[in-house]
Chains A and B, each alone.
Chain A
Amino acid sequence: MNVVRRYATILGVFVQDSLAYKSQAVLWMLTDIAPAIIMPFVWMAGLNGRDKIGGYDSGQIVMYYLTMTFLSNFVVAHLQWEIAFAAKDGQLSKFLLYPFSYMRYQYLGNIAWRMMRVFLFIPFALLWFGIFNSQIGAQTLAALNIGWQFWVALILGHLTAFFFAWALGMLAFYFIEVHAVYFTQYMLMAVFSGQLAPFDLLPPILKTMAAWTPFRYTLSFPLDILNGRLAGEAVLQGIGIQLIWMAVLYVLGAIGWKYGSRLYTGTGM
């Protein structure tokens, strides 16, 4: 009971914190949503009178980018910046004194932000339907697969992204300049996690590369289940790979923390 209360209290603080930065959140969301409105237009112009492009018709393309943006609100984690900042600035000292694991603390912070972003996204989704109403029919919506496999893959994807961001955050203990690494990571993530384009439409070489990165198993894999691109054995196999990635990243992050936090000097306070 005590444990539950502790978690609930910290989560409550984070929810208030995230509500205080609503306008910031709306802005970040707009920067996410703009490319995802632009790209369906580009794909549809690429149809050039054909019905389908790489197995996607215009409704499916539009639906892909909508669901991608919607789910990325829940999946993509950005906590590496905050960890790096705390490690450089000396703010981390405060957290080391807390009788609560810093990783769990970051997780609660992350989930509070994710939930708020999901709620704030709903009006944008409506705007989307307004723009693309001629492409999205009732059957496009009905075709979405929201069975248990999707939910499992989504939650595992969210956790994989969290452990990945945590492990990236640990780099700040070892290297002076990490921002370039983080920015590069966003570019790789855009290509391999399905933010730029659906996995199916990647050229073969990028597809192969994506399959070997954890990015594929954060966002793009649950998306492919939702949009009916994956079924049966491939889904179970993917969930297995998600579990492996989660374990690998968790261990890397734990090692990074164990030795990294010893290197931390508390300077900058």
Chain B
Amino acid sequence: MRPFLRYARLLFIFARTCLVRDMEFRGNFWAGVFTNIVWVGAYFVFIKIIYANTQAVGNWTQGQSVLLLGTYALTSGLVNVFFSRNLAELPTQIRFGNFDFTVVKPVNSQFFVSMRYLNYTEVGTLAASILMIIYGVILAGIKVTFLSVLEYLILVACGLSIYYSIYLILMSTAFWFIKVENLWTLGETVFQVARTPMNIYGTAAMKVFTYVIPLVFIAHVPAETLIGLERTYEMLIGLGMTAVFVSVSSAFWRFATRYYTSASS
């Protein structure tokens, strides 16, 4: 319990200093919040357009699709609040040898490179995502129970962990390839697929998105849980895939840091 408390306290300190920092440039901060909301809005408009022309996409009604998009925005928003700004910096840290300062700190290096800077401008995305989730639930007439919300939150946590783990693995390759920022832009592009119902791409693609790159757990399966379509084994697969991805990415991180040469420091 002690180490956990220590890291929780550290995270709290990071959160405080970042808030102070962000508040120094308030104009930029609000502009950032605003643009993040606008981006989420674009795909919401797409949903509105498509459902003006049809009743259902595959077996998904409009409310269900909005819930799906809200869930995607929630997961990716949380990833951006905690991890994106940090992991995106990793290749630069390695290139200039600044990673030295991470290595010498008496904290877990994976924790430090993943969560040092929090991005508060993403609160806009989070607020928009929660509104969309509520709107989607109402529109689809979903009966939520305590249990279904709990299951939903567990699966969102799974999606978040998987998303983060893939991000960490991709960025860790910087220890060998140095300039890998573009790799993440590519990753994010592929991840956009997770905001659409994933069963529309066919059964083969569904298998890939469940067992190889488990993007179904980012939004599809959590949304299904709340709707009441999810089957128990999907929950089990989600938990299993999360365990695999978290441990593999962590092991890969430890392996990769051994190749740090501290060049140009």
Q: Decide yes or no: A27 and B182 within 8 Å by CB, A197-B46, A203-B52 being known contacts.
A: yes
Residue B142 lies at the interface, judged by CB distance under 8 Å to chain A: no
Q: What B residues does A48 contact at CB under 8 A?
A: 54-56, 58
Interface hits, B48-67 → A, CB 8 Å: 48-50, 52-58
Rounded to whole Å, the gap between the CB of B92 and the closest CB of chain A is 17
Interface hits, B98-145 → A, CB 8 Å: none
Residue A183 lies at the interface, judged by CB distance under 8 Å to chain B: yes
Q: What B residues does A53 contact at CB under 8 A?
A: 53-54
Contact of B28 among A34, A35, A177, A202 (CB under 8 A): A177
Of chain A, the residue at the smallest CB distance from B195 is A38
Main secondary structure of the interface of A (DSSP, over half): helix
A197 to B52, CA, bound (A): 12
Of chain B, the residue at the smallest CB distance from A196 is B46
Q: Is the CB of A43 within 8 A of B50?
A: yes
A187 to B197, CA, bound (A): 22
Q: Decide yes or no: A46 and B50 within 8 Å by CB, A187-B39, A187-B42 being known contacts.
A: yes
Of chain A, the residue at the smallest CB distance from B33 is A180
Contact of B35 among A179, A190, A196 (CB under 8 A): A179
Q: Decide yes or no: A38 and B28 within 8 Å by CB, A27-B186, A46-B56 being known contacts.
A: no
A197 to B45, CA, bound (A): 10
A206 to B182, CA, bound (A): 35
A47 to B58, CA, bound (A): 8
Q: What B residues does A43 contact at CB under 8 A?
A: 50
Q: Is the CB of B35 within 8 A of A180?
A: yes
Interface hits, A43-85 → B, CB 8 Å: 43-48, 53-54
Q: Is the CB of B196 within 8 A of A180?
A: no
Q: What A residues does B42 contact at CB under 8 A?
A: 187, 190-191, 196
Given contacts A187-B41, A196-B46, 6 further A-B contacts (CB under 8 A): A34-B192, A34-B193, A45-B57, A48-B54, A187-B39, A203-B48
